[in-house]
Amino acid sequence: MNTVLIALRDPEVRVSLARIVRESGRTVASVGSCREARRRFPGREYDVVFAEARGGRGGPWGPATPTCRIAVLVDPPDEVLVDGMLPAGFHARLSTPFDSSSVTELLDGTVSDGNVLPEGESGPLPPPEDAEFGEDGELGPRPMKLLGRAPAMRQLKSRIRCMAPAQAPVLILGETGSGKELVARQLHDLSQRSEGPFVAINCGALSPTLLESQLFGHERGSFTGAKRRHRGVFERAHGGTVFLDEITEMSVDVQVNLLRVLEQGAFYRTGGEDLVRADFRTVAATNHAPARAQSEGRLRSDLFYRLSVLQLEVPPLRERLEDVELLAKAFLAEVASEEGVAKTLTSAALDRLREHTWPGNVRELRNAIHTAYLMSEGREILPEALPAEVLSDSRERDEVFHVPMGTSLQEAEQELIMRTLHHMDGSKSCAAKKLGISLKTLYNRLNSYPTIRT
């Protein structure tokens, strides 16, 4: 069977190339990097791989080199090969922009025409059911995965698989750093639009005027500094998925225009007169409670109902602490791969990681592992190498004590105050703050106890 892998960063090139490959009667898997292909399709072998030249250990494209018979180098036309030689591991070259005939001729010359898929059966290769969800690592500073074996994560992955094939909009709820964009990417990767582009935008990071320009695009000369036509997010996401992050941070005026686009599938570029139509699926996300955002006037109710046909909630890390070790070791392996030296977490360091409440969720854990790796001189990572906030939280974690039935209110209060004071290493100011009372009130309570004099 003729199988082709397209592992390229540019989404437009991937879409164009995948369409030509399918029309030639071959099955194609389209991803943003070879690393992602190895994660999503472990053990797969391909007849042809279209990839970019990447430095690194382990093969022509780094440590994630897939198994294939023919590797085709895809690069810009102005890229000059040293001595006209292809990089190690590549067998042919395809320069962009390309036409269908050049791709077809290349495929016909490298792959036999036997075992063509029946009509209607071509398309992206489905990932195994038990494969870990992955993200296109080349789009960010480091590759990331949607890892987790806790019950809450298993349920989330199951819901993603169910919702991915649908065309309906999805609203993802979750705290900052919990992995909402990873969930959005997985919805895209498992959808029928996986060969199309995935275009993400943070709605809270831009002013209303700039956000409209980024969403809808603008024409040349439409405002000062607009030196050329700009294709907006919706236009660039044609055939794929738009991810609108932090939707509640968008101004109400922009929300009105967004609602119109979602309902009509058409819009005008800023300063333009031609109606632009685009076909895309919308995935939105917020770290705020939608009901509260609506009551505060930060989210229009009609837009909310338009975006939340389907809903997913990403659990915070504190609700799946059994995944901390799995995540920590995965992040450590990634850092070690980048830095070139393998290190291990000691059991004491893992204990500290499990004790932390992780207000910054998975993102905070990832940063903590990176810090600990760099701060460890040896091959073992000790607790002392962890960030101060992780160690502080472990030392000051809440204790639990039980009050027997029949204990008087005064006795229970005294026990709580004394335990809190001990927990704060005798610091009365810290204890008062923890108890939610003034320092004067704490002194008065302590002075009232018969065995305590301050």
pLDDT of residue 281: 95
Quick one: how far is CA 4 from the chain centroid?
26
Record the tokens describing residue 119, joined without a space.
Answer: 């009509």
Taking each helix axis as running N to C, give the angle between helix 324-339 and helix 361-375, from 0 to 180 degrees, rounded to the nearest 10.
50
Q: How far is CA 174 from CA 184, 288, 293, in A?
A: 12, 8, 14
Residue 47 φ/ψ, nearest 5 degrees: -75, -45
In order along its 454 residues, the chain shows pLDDT tens digits of: 378 888 888 777 888 888 888 877 788 888 888 877 877 777 778 888 888 876 444 344 555 667 777 888 887 655 555 545 667 677 788 877 777 777 887 787 654 333 222 223 333 333 333 334 433 333 333 335 688 889 999 999 999 999 999 999 999 999 999 999 999 999 998 999 988 899 999 888 888 888 888 898 888 877 776 778 888 899 999 999 999 999 999 999 899 999 989 988 888 888 888 888 999 999 999 999 999 999 999 999 999 999 999 999 999 999 999 999 999 998 998 888 778 888 999 999 999 999 998 999 999 999 999 999 999 988 999 999 999 888 875 444 455 666 777 788 888 888 888 888 877 667 787 788 788 888 888 888 888 876 554 5
| pLDDT number for residue 35 | 78
- Please give the pLDDT value at position 204: 84
Residue 65 pLDDT: 63
Would you state the pLDDT for residue 100? 79
> Which domains occur in the chain, in start order?
3-117 (3.40.50.2300), 153-313 (3.40.50.300), 318-395 (1.10.8.60), 409-448 (1.10.10)
Cα(178)–Cα(147) distance, rounded to whole angstroms? Answer: 11
CA distance 327 to 144: 10
pTM: 0.58
Find out whether 394 and 356 touch, Cβ atoms under 8 Å. yes
CA dihedral 312, 314, 320, 325 (to 10 degrees): 120
Helices and strands, number each (H, E), in the chain: 17, 16
DSSP string for 17-70 = HHHHHHHTT-EEEEES-HHHHHHHSTT-EEEEEEE-----TTSBTBTTPPEEEE
CA distance 42 to 40: 6
Q: Is it true that the peptide bond before 118 is cis, omega within 30 degrees of 0?
A: no
Q: Are 190 and 281 in contact (CB under 8 A)?
A: no
Backbone angles phi, psi at 366, to 5 degrees: -60, -45
On the 0-12 / 13-18 / 19+ scale of CB atoms within 10 A, 320 is buried
